[in-house]
Amino acid sequence: MKNLKIDQHRVDNLEFDLSTGIHVRAQDHTGKWTNADIADLELASLKEWLRSRGGRNDWAEATVATLLGFNSAEISKMWHPEHHVTDEEVKS
């Protein structure tokens, strides 16, 4: 498993004041290792953690990400990059 990363914006922003009670080892924005709730992980790290035991269920993973406050555009880009449309493509 890759090094999990904490999303400092999610930690600092009260909008994302979530707690699952599920803690993992992750690196903060300075690179220091610490215990972090999965709700505070970067989306890529959350996806990595969800698949860390060999399973894969895109629908369930995207549902967890949604429940943790990630928006549908972020989730679509992370789970289905081949279908993701950029803002520049929309403008043309």
Tell me the pLDDT of the chain (92 aa) as tens digits.
789 999 999 998 877 778 999 999 999 999 999 999 999 999 999 999 999 999 999 999 999 999 999 998 899 999 888 876 555 554 55
- Could you report the per-residue pLDDT of 61-83, keeping only the tens digit for each? 999 999 999 998 899 999 888 87
Joined together, the tokens standing for residue 44 give 């890529």
Q: What is the pTM of this model?
A: 0.82
Enclosing H/E stretch for 81: none
- Cα separation, 40 vs 28, in Å, equals 10
Stretch (H or E) spanning 37:
strand 33-37
